[in-house]
Amino acid sequence: MSALVLMYLVLVADRSFALVGSGEPIGIAIGSLMLFLPAIAFWGIFMELRFGLRIEKLGDQLKKENAWPQFPFELRPSGRPTKESAQEVFEQFRQSVEADQTNWKAWFALGLAYDAAGDRARARKAMRQAITLTGKGPIS
């Protein structure tokens, strides 16, 4: 998918430069605005890739330390956890985060628990906090 978006960005940028180079005021205006949209898309892809690579590094570190969190979810036939078992697991990981809010491993585990239950927004927020706590700086 990223390759297709990159191809789109190249084609739009090419057309934008052609319009800017036309010398016509309307062409310059449209070409300039067309360059703005690919810049935003490129920034978004860059931020997503950076986020994913940082999370993967943290996951690899946990695997090396043999500290990957275990989730005793009761699963539905679809493979998703039941609401009751997810609440129990969330409560355990939430308490470990509240006990030590500076522990990136607890935040990482909470993020994985949220992701397993399909709550991607909270999972990403918890993972961002884990990245921030590792000293790699804040991530947006």
Sorting pLDDT into bands at 50, 70 and 90, what band is 137? low
Question: Closest by alpha carbon to 124, among 139, 135, 102, 105?
Answer: 139
In tens, the pLDDT along 53-102 reads: 999 999 999 999 999 988 888 888 888 888 788 888 888 888 999 999 99
Contacts of 136 (CB under 8 A, 6+ apart): 54
Amino acid at 104: W
**pTM for this one?**
0.74
Helix H or strand E segment including 93 = helix 83-99
Give the span between the Cα atoms of 119 and 114, in whole angstroms.
Answer: 5
Write down the H helix ranges in 65-80: none
For the chain, the domains span: 2-54, 69-136
* Superfamily of chain region 69-136: Tetratricopeptide repeat domain (1.25.40.10)
More confident residue, 22 or 140: 22
**Per-residue pLDDT for 138 more than 60?**
no
**Per-residue pLDDT for 140 more than 70?**
no
Q: Tokens 């628990």 appear where?
A: 113
Q: Tokens 């052609």 appear where?
A: 18
Q: Decide if 81 contacts 73 (C-beta within 8 A).
A: yes
Sorting pLDDT into bands at 50, 70 and 90, what band is 103? very high
Contacts of 78 (CB under 8 A, 6+ apart): none
Give the span between the Cα atoms of 123 and 117, in whole angstroms.
Answer: 9
